[in-house]
Structures are given as C-alpha cells and as structure tokens.
Structure 1
Amino acid sequence: MKIFKILLISLIAILLFAACGKNRNSNQEKNIVEKKIVEAKNKIEDKEKNVAKKPEINFYIARENLGESKEKFPLSQIIGEINLDQYEKLFNNASFTDKKVESSKNNVGDVIISSNDRKIKFAKKAKNNIFENEEIGKSDSKIIESKVSLRDKAFSYLLSNKLREIDNPKFPDELGAYSTYFVKDFFEDGKLILLSNVYNQNYFFKDGIFEKESGYRRPMEFQYVLNKDNNFSFDREIYPQDGSMYAPSVKKMARDDKKTFDYLMQGANKEEYDELMDDLFYLAQKRGLDNFSHKLKDIPGYENDVVYIEKGPRLLEGNIEIAKKKDYEEAKKTVGKDSWPHCEGILYNKRTGIAVKTFIDYFE
C-alpha cells in the first residue's frame, strides 16, 4: 500500500510539473505543485482512514461444546453479513441506560453481535414487555432496553442479506427488496436451523415511481453447518412444496409445533410491508436514484385531480392508494358489468414516501 501511495503521488507530481509550461523553475509553480501533492496525499490518507473506521460487524451464537475447548457453551460465528445501515437501525428505538448488571454467562442459543470492541448480547425473552439486552463490559454489563426483539431483527437482516446472495437479480437495473420475519432458531443434529417468513419484491424504477416485476412470499428454512473453524456457514435453504403438499411441508418445517406452524402460515402485515419499503428505500439510495421519495401531493403524475383511498379490504395501515379521478370514476361505472372492474393507480407508503404502481379494484 505504501509503495502504491508513493508511486501515485510521484505520478501526480510528474503530471503537474509537465503541465506547468516552460517556466518550471519558478517558485510560484513549484509552490503550486507542492500544494497539489500535499492535497493528493491528504485525500489518499483520508480515504484510508475512512476505510479503517468502517466497523467489522460479526454475529455469534452459543452452542453445545463438541469437546474442542474447556468452555461449556462456546461461541461460533454465523458467517454472513449485517451492514452498517442495518446495525444502526437495530438500535434506532432502543434505550441505552446507565443500569449495570453482572455480565451473564453464555447459554445455548445466546446471540452476541460485535462491532469493533463493542459486544452486545441480545435478550431472548421480554420482562414486563421490555427486552433487556446487555452491552458487555470487562466486569459488568450495561442494559439496552427495547420494546421489540433485537435478536429477531438481527436474524432477519442476516437472512435478508443471505437471500440477496441466493436470488441474483435477472436485470442490472432491478432492485430486489426483502422483508424477513424471523420465527425460530434451534439446533438439530449439529446444524443451526433458522425458520423465517420471507417477503420479496423486485422493482423497476421510472419517472419517480416503482413498478413490481416479480416476487414471492413464503416460509423458508435455512440450514447452517459447522465448518473446519467451528463457525456456522450457510449450507442450504428449504422451500415449501407446491399444491396440496404446501401445508404438510410447512408443518414438517415447523417440526410439528403448532405455534411455529401458525407463525409460518400467517399473512402479510403492516410491519412486514414497512420493512420491505425501508429496504427498497435503502437500495434506491445505494443505487443513487433521484426523485424516488415524495410528499403526498407531489407524486409525479398524481399531483392534481386524484382520489385518495385510505381504507380498503387489503390496504395496510400507513399506506394510501391513489388513482386519477377520471380513471377511478370510469372504472366505478363498470361495477356489476365487467368481471374485474379496476383502474391503474399507485400505492403510497407514508413512512418512506415511496410510490408503487398498483391496480385499484374496490370502489366507494
């Protein structure tokens, strides 16, 4: 890296000297060149510092000892990615308190996330509707309170990112958004099993509005196995079977546990769709898209003469369906005449300002 820096700075110096014209020996030109060299050097160093500042985020789970160490429940890393944006979002609504407790000993299934020197153990269960997560210190821990399970959220992010690896986009301009509702984790025959509901939608973006291309919503099983370093690496994913075998295959996935089966079979909800829109918002920012988030009255093509629908049989809270008034009234006239009276419109998500093309097929 140092040799590369020296070569790069030298190259910049040569180019600048060559550009100075015939009076290369003038003090003024030398000063300009020296100043440019210093600026280039500083830019390189600043870039390296920024790279160095990027935290390494790792995810660990405590498991049964296989005889490889003296620890009763050693920690194994779950190989995968939780990015910085997701890490920060984990703690968005958490309360960092000054409460101190003696650091708890690890037990099977305990999950710890680490970022540089910071280690946080997630609570498995809530006490009086509050999850007491531990920020682990040398001798004691500080409590981080949350109203939702940070453990489940972290697993959800981990699996969403894994699915992004598995489901390669078909087109370069496609945006694949994921909302993963984590259901359960357990160990089985030395494997780590993760069960989750997965909601995927792939979008294209044009003129300020997103359009759904394809997607799926289904329960999934993810299996991780111990590698030679005794860390859990992804092995395979399992999908439900089609047709009449769908429910029986989900039941098998749930290991015949009714509560788990019910969670895996439940329908879409507000939180799930909000998470999908949050992910789409993040992807749009990362892609560098412009004009993809709007105020309600400023949606391209839907600024005037529109109908706002805030209640409907499939409309989730926090979203509004919008149709052009002319299209809405014309479609309304076909109710009772056509087999599918409908008109084109958009589904607007209040939380993100994202508008997605849809069809409106119920009328007041």
Structure 2
Amino acid sequence: MKIFKILLISLITILLFAACGKNRNSNQENNIVEKKIVEAKNKIEDKEKNVAKKPEINFYIARENLGESKEEFPLSQIIGEINLDQYEKLFNNASFTDKKVESSKNNVGDVIISSNDRKIKFAKKAKNNIFENEEIGKSDSKIIESKVSLRDKAFSYLLSNKLREIDNPKFPDELGAYSTYFVKDFFEDGKLILLSNVYNQNYFFKDGIFEQESGYRRPMEFQYVLNKDNNFSFDRVIYPQDGSMYAPSVKKMARDDKKTFDYLMQGANKEEYNELMDDLFYLAQKRGLDNFSHKLKDIPGYENDVVYIEKGPRLLEGNIEIAKKKDYEEAKKTVGKDSWPHCEGILYNKRTGIAVKTFIDYFE
C-alpha cells in the first residue's frame, strides 16, 4: 500500500510538471507568434512609409490661356512618366549653386518638373554655354547650372517611356532599350507637338551576355492634346514614310524648317549607344537579372586568351570590342580572300559593364 501511494504521488507530480511545461511551451509559442505578427506589421508599415516617401514626379509646360483662368500662361501637366532613376540622372552633372535670382514669370513653352514640394524650371537656352535652371522658391529661385539642356533630357526620358508603352515586346523575356534625342517642341492648333530622333534596340539575355534581336532608328512626331482637365495627354505618334517618301515626310514633320529637318535626318551621335546601354542597365535591374554587368577581365567566356580592340572605324568612344584570340587570328588570315572577313565577339560598354554579342571585322 505504501508503494502504491508513492507511485500515485510520483504520477501526479509528473502530470503537474507536464502541465506546467505545456503551459510554458504554449506561452513561448504564443510569444513567438505575437513577435512574428509584430514583425510583419512593422514590415508593412515600413513598406507603406517607403511608398509614401517615393516622390511623385510631374512634368508641366506653360501654354496660351484659353480663358479658363487669370494666369497669362497657365501650366498644363504632360501626362507621362519620368521615373526616379531618370530624375536623379537628370541632375548628375549639374551644379547646385547658392546664386539667387528673382523667380521668373512663366512664358509659353516654359517647362517645370516637380518632385513633391521641389519645383525646377528648365532653361530654354544657354548663356555662355551654361544653362541656368531655376529651383523655384517662395520669393526667389536658386540657380542650377548645367552644360547640357536638362529640358531636352527630360523630354527625351518622357518620350522613351511613352514608346515603351507603345512598342509592345514580341516576347516576354525581351528587353527594349531606347535612346531618344529630343529635337523640338511647339504648339499647333491647340496640340503640343514633340519631335525627336529615336534609337531602339531589343535584346535577349543569356549566360551573362546580351544579344541584339531587332530595332530601329528614325525620327518621330508625338502629338499631345488637352483633356477635360486641361492637361496634355498622348494622342498619337507619326512615323516617316518608307522609300522615296521618307525625306519628304520628315520635311513635313519639320514644318519645312531646314534646321529642324537636318536634326531629324542626322546620323548617330557618339553618346547615343552609351545612353542605350544606360537604359538597358536600368531595365536589367528592374527585371531582376543576375550577372549582367561585368568587369573587363571577368566577362563569361572571355576571361582569357582574348584580343581587346579599342580603336576602329565604327567603334564608339567608351566601348571595347573583344574577340577570342584564336577566332580573331583565323579570321585575320582571310583578309583579302573572303568577301567579309569576320569573327564573333562582344562589344563591351565601360560605363555599364554590359557585354553585347557582335561581329568583329576590323583587323590590325
């Protein structure tokens, strides 16, 4: 009987300890769950804060008054996108000075970009090769100096992004990069007309290297019309005609202005390809691609036994052609024998670290 009592007491003790342990474990589990809920809530709040911090970037142009306000030249928003990356690039090489001037009145064609409470009016023309842009304050403005037209760059970004909407990619993994050279803007019959040269290349990405699939280079006319809110929304884009009507159709775009026509007809400039690579770099980041930017000596498949070509008749500044030494030497032997001596290689862009497949047909 005594042994039975001892066993009973032991059993009760074990059960009590188990119950206490279970409660402790339950409390710990509850604490962990509560902690995770708090962490998740904090993450959501942080995300909401970050979204709230993201600046709203808007683009405005001053136009003739249509009798809707007391302003002589009211501002209308140009509906479109300039992303944060482009906004920051706008001012990369600009100088933010302490020079203060009286804020200028708006005139037809003045362009203002706003980011939250910050408003900047772009200079139309340069003074002594310097563009004096205004950061508008309550009573006066601070001068932002630039060697290039920030106004033209902003229009270029706006139109590149619009084309990304218009030119639907043929394949889901295709990346369409744009380099847009802005030429001129003017008002016509209540419409806002924007003229530009557009360079487009579409790429596929595989094993660390891009391959060009298709593209075009041509002048374009973009037309924007006033909507019910008196803002300019995109209406249509006009392309030049093919064949013998190409030049006459571009002349029509230029409204028979020779200087504008010459700008629309001019060939590629040295920065055009570099800007295209900047855009491709941005798209690759946005897409979440890995291993798309390399150091010169670390390009997949081109780490050793290669030839670097830094000068050539068509090689643009800031780029290097790279070929495998064996392929290069074999192709070089066919010079004077084959109609097109060439070998496969890559074009490496120094600024972005991007490598694009190409054919090399210049041999020293």
| Higher mean C-alpha displacement, 118-127 vs 9-18 | 9-18
Q: CA deviation at 1:7?
A: 50
SS in 2 for 1:156: helix
1:330 deviates by: 1.3
Say whether the 8 Å CA contact 1:62–1:111 is kept in structure 2: yes
TM-score (norm 2): 0.92
Q: What is the CA-CA distance between 1:31 and the residue it aligns to?
A: 2.8
* CA-CA distance at 1:311 after TM superposition: 1.3
Q: Distance in 1 between matches of 2:258 and 2:4?
A: 61
Name the stretch that deviates more: 183-192 or 26-35. 26-35
3-state secondary structure, aligned to 2:141: strand
Residue 275 of structure 1 deviates from its aligned partner by 0.6
- What displacement does 1:78 show? 0.2
Q: Cα–Cα, structure 1 residues 125 and 5, in superposed 2: closer, same or farther, change >3 Å?
A: farther
Flag the 1:71–1:305 CA change in 2: closer, same or farther, 3 A.
same
**Structure 1 residue 18: deviation in Å?**
19
How far does residue 357 in structure 1 lie from its aligned partner after superposition? 0.4
**Would the alpha carbon gap of residues 134 and 26 (structure 1) be closer, same or farther in structure 2, given more than 3 Å must change?**
same
After TM superposition, give the deviation of residue 36 of structure 1 in Å.
2.1
- The answer on whether the counterparts of 1:221 and 1:253 sit within 8 Å (CA) in structure 2 is yes
Q: Distance in 1 between matches of 2:222 and 2:2?
A: 43
CA deviations on 1:250-269 (whole Å, 9 max, x unpaired) are 11111111111111111112
Between the aligned partners of 2:189 and 2:8, the Cα distance in structure 1 is 54
Does structure 2 conserve the Cα–Cα contact (< 8 Å) formed by 1:201 and 1:212? Answer: yes
Q: CA deviation at 1:91?
A: 0.7
Residues 39, 199 of structure 1: CA spacing in aligned structure 2 closer, same or farther, 3 A cutoff? same
C-alpha displacement of 1:128: 0.9
For 1:57 and 1:313, the matched residues in 2 are separated by: 41
When Rg is computed on C-alpha atoms for both structures, the one with the higher figure is 2
1:99 aligns with 2:99: yes
The structure-2 alpha-carbon separation of the partners of 1:14 and 1:180, relative to structure 1 and needing over 3 Å to count, comes to farther
- Cα distance in 1 for partners of 2:279, 2:24 equals 55
Q: Hey, what does 1:159 align to over in structure 2?
A: 159
Tell me the CA shift for residue 167 of structure 1. Answer: 0.3
How many Å apart are 1:35 and its aligned residue? 2.1
Distance of aligned partners of 1:264 and 1:12 in 2 relative to their CA distance in 1, 3 Å threshold:
farther
Instruction: Identify the residue that residue 242 of structure 2 maps to in structure 1.
Output: 242
Aligned to 1:48, what secondary structure does the other structure show? helix
- Contact 1:123/1:131, CA 8 A, preserved across alignment: yes
- Residue 88 to residue 288, structure 1, CA distance change in 2 (3 Å): same
8 A Cα contact 1:24 1:30, kept in partner? no
Question: In 2, are the aligned partners of 1:95 and 1:144 still within 8 Å (CA)?
Answer: yes
- Inter-partner Cα distance in structure 2 for 1:327 and 1:185: 49
Divergent runs of 4+, >4 A: 1-22
Distance in structure 1 (CA, Å) of the matches to 2:224 and 2:110: 16
Superposition deviation, residue 2 in structure 1:
64
Distance change (3 Å), C-alpha of 1:230 and 1:246: same
1:200 is displaced (CA, Å) by 0.4
Distance apart, 1:362 and its partner CA: 2.0
- Secondary structure (helix, strand or coil) at the match of 2:25 reads coil
Deviation at 1:37? 2.2
Structural mapping, 1:23-62, within 5 Å:
23=23, 26-62=26-62
Distance 2:7 2:48 in 1: 16
* CA gap 1:9/1:350 in 2 versus in 1, 3 angstroms: farther
Q: CA deviation at 1:5?
A: 56
Contact 1:12 1:37 in 2 (8 A): no
What displacement does 1:70 show?
Answer: 1.0
In 2, Cα distance between the equivalents of 1:159 and 1:13?
79
Q: CA deviation at 1:17?
A: 22
Q: Which runs of 5+ in 2 are unaligned?
A: none
Classify the secondary structure of the residue corresponding to 1:25.
helix
Structure 1 residue 14: deviation in Å?
Answer: 30
Conserved in 2, the CA contact under 8 Å of 1:57 and 1:116?
yes
How many percent identity over aligned positions?
A: 98
Deviation, structure 1 residue 313: 1.4
Distance 1:207 1:48, change over 3 A: same
Q: How far apart, in 2, do the equivalents of 1:9 and 1:271 lie?
A: 89
- What is the CA–CA distance in structure 1 between the aligned matches of 2:141 and 2:228, rounded to whole Å? 32
